[in-house]
Chains A and B, each alone.
Chain A
Amino acid sequence: MSEVTNAKPVHPAAPSLAELFISFVIVSVSGFGGALPWARRMIVEQKHWMTTEEFNEAFALAQFLPGPNVVNFSVVFGSRFGGAAGAAVALAGLMGPPLVIVTVLAMLYAQFGELEILGRILSGITATAAGLLIAVVGKMAVPLFTKRWNWAPAIAILAFAGVAIMRWPLPWVFAVLAPVAVAIAWLKPSATTAKP
């Protein structure tokens, strides 16, 4: 077993459309607080549909594209194994169950949202959720602020200030900053070669 896996990444039979759908349903209903860790666990560790490197590359593409990352990833992954139909079933599996669940929650909120007790519970949860997001930002910022790019923190801070402090519309901030950042990365390619 280990000899085989060491020699070459083993790809068991590519998933069928039904398998794709069911797998993404499972990822989506188990993925509290973001579906990414669950998608990785299923695809790389359990089903061995992709190696770690393949997964990282596919996810990097999903991250680079605009829009929700895991949603993009389901399309990239599904299309690789099943073309347009594969993309459609993976997307449907990922979005279907949470859509139903959250619509029911929205109805309950519309009914009971004014209740003081629910408001109090949600205010505690919101304070927690804000903290979790700050922690994620901190983890993402560490590599950016500690090495290689002297310009990257400046771009990040400008993006932050433009959207959070100045309250400028995100499309404007993006339209100005993204080309500048890409141009700098283009002109200073040596700084990016250290990328893992």
Chain B
Amino acid sequence: MNDNPLVALFGYFALLSLFAVGGANAAIPEMHRIAVEIMHWMNDRQFADSFAIAQLSPGPNVIIVTLIGYHVAGVAGAAVATVAMCGPTCLLAFFAARTWDRFKDAPWRIAIQAGLVPVSLGLIAASAFVLARAADKNIYAGVVTAVTVAVASFTRVNPLWLFAAGGMLGLSGWL
């Protein structure tokens, strides 16, 4: 990759966007691998913080790339990372939308859809694993994660309440 961080940002995220089947969450491990392990743009905690801020912000969760871009190269980095992550797949979506409906019952379309579901599930599970490992630095944080899993699985509580509770516990200094 080029020395210019904007070029690296654009190249990595444009490539990543084309493989991120399962949405932004499925791409978290790869973002982590690139930003923390390969390029050393940020450390583990900064990455986890970025994810937390993206979750707290309204709008699509893909907005984490904006935060990474800003961290690397300011406002220009934020813009470049966002355009790279959304641009190629939006063009693809635009052209796919015009042909897809025509092949609604085609066997190849059904096979593609059916085959990609488990792949994307595995990728999202990997994201959850990577995040939990970055977030749960001690047993108390692990307990917060576990309790959140239980509450979110078996109740319909608005996630904002869970975030509020997690933030308060963090503030109290237990985590």
Contact = CB atoms under 8 A, between A and B. Distances in A.
- A interface, size bucket: 35 or more
A141 B63 CA distance: 25
B4 interface: no
Contact of B86 (A71, A106, A107, A160): A71
Contacts of A158: 122
A62 B86 CA distance: 13
Given A84-B94, A133-B128, A170-B27, A127 B145 contact: yes
B39 interface: no
A61 interface: yes
Interface in B121-175: 121-132, 134-137, 141-142, 144-149, 152-153, 159-160, 162-163, 165-171, 173, 175
B135 A156 contact: no
Contacts of B165: 128
A101 B59 contact: yes
B8 to A, nearest CB: 15
9 contacts: A123-B175, A124-B175, A130-B131, A131-B149, A138-B149, A163-B29, A170-B123, A174-B21, A185-B115
Contacts of B88: 67
Contacts, number: 381
Interface in B15-30: 15-25, 27, 29-30
Contacts of B1: none
B110 interface: yes
Interface stretch (A2-10, A15-23, A40-48, A87-95): A87-95
A158 to B, nearest CB: 7
Contact of A125 (B92, B97, B163): B163
B144 A127 contact: yes
Interface string A20-58: 000000001111111100000000000000000000011
B136 A109 contact: no
B123 to A, nearest CB: 5
B99 to A, nearest CB: 10
A160 B130 CA distance: 10
Interface string A95-109: 101110111011101
B116 A64 contact: yes
Given A113-B46, A125-B167, A66 B58 contact: no
A195 B70 CA distance: 42
B114 A156 contact: no
Interface in B65-104: 66-67, 70-71, 75, 78, 82, 85-86, 88-90, 92-94, 96-98, 100-101, 104
